[in-house]
Amino acid sequence: MNSGQLSKHYSVLTAAERFPLMLAADARGDEAEFARLVTSAQQVAVKVSHTFGRAMAFREVHEYYRLKRLELAALYFNALWVTHAYPAAEAAACVPDAVLLLGYRVKVLAAGWKLFCDRATLDDRQYDEQLPGGGVLSLAEKVAETVAFTPEEVLAHVRRSHPEATSVETAESVAADLKSLFEDRLVKWG
């Protein structure tokens, strides 16, 4: 049976059958197939509070950003470990700068998230503390307070390979990116 014949039966698929097909179509970049699967799905009515869209937008931004920060913390700790485990290795020669740069980013992302939440009057502490990885993020931020470049050192480091660079990522730029991402998610959730 070809996909054209199969698509005639999409309306009878259960949610459990349809969802894996949607993921597969998305994974292979088949937007037309994905759209056919979505539009042929049975519709259901859902009643939610008027804050639902805002809560979902915040949840998406928070989860994305938390994962980004956890990934950065893992890279930071790995670079620290390599620096101390293999101090004489040639490859370790560039690791101290990497450690300091990653430490700077750990601090900037944490400060940017706090700035974004403060400006949006969103207190995520209770929400954030309930999720796995909080100890890792706290430890990375604590270590980065002493093992990290300053903004001026980051700029000097970046200028070694990009002399035209005039600025680096800051808490302000991170907060602006988060605000933009949040606003995009709000549009999606209506």
Domain boundaries, the chain: 3-39, 52-189
Dihedral sign for Cα atoms in the order 53, 56, 60, 63:
positive
Helix (H, G, I), strand (E, B) or coil at 89: coil
Confidence of residue 9 (pLDDT cuts 50, 70, 90): confident
Average pLDDT over residues 7-21: 86
Q: What is the DSSP letter of 60?
A: H
Average pLDDT, the chain: 89
* Whether pLDDT at 1 is above 50: no
Position 89 scores a pLDDT of 58
**For residue range 107-128, what is the model confidence (pLDDT) as tens digits?**
999 999 999 999 999 888 777 7
Q: What amino acid occupies position 42? A: Q
Average pLDDT over residues 22-38: 92
8 A C-beta contact, residue 3 and residue 24: no
Q: What is the DSSP annotation of 134-152?
A: HHHHHHHHHHHTTSS--HH
Q: What amino acid occupies position 60? A: E
How many Å apart are CA 162 and CA 185, to the nearest integer? 33
Average pLDDT over residues 134-158: 93
Confidence of residue 3 (pLDDT cuts 50, 70, 90): low
Which among 76, 94, 87, 86 has a CA at the least distance from the CA of 146? Answer: 76
Average pLDDT over residues 72-83: 91
Region of 131 on the Ramachandran plot (φ > 0 left; ψ -120 to 50 alpha; else beta): beta
* Whether pLDDT at 32 is above 80: yes
Which among 161, 137, 27, 18 has a CA at the least distance from the CA of 6? Answer: 18
More confident residue, 85 or 153: 153
Position 8 scores a pLDDT of 76
Which of 39-48, 52-61, 90-99, 156-165 bottoms out in mean pLDDT, i.e. has the lowest? Answer: 90-99
How many Å apart are CA 126 and CA 11, to the nearest integer? 42
Q: CA triplet 57, 58, 59: central angle to 5 degrees?
A: 90
* Whether pLDDT at 92 is above 70: no
Percent of residues, the chain, with pLDDT higher than 70: 91
How many Å apart are CA 173 and CA 182, to the nearest integer? 14
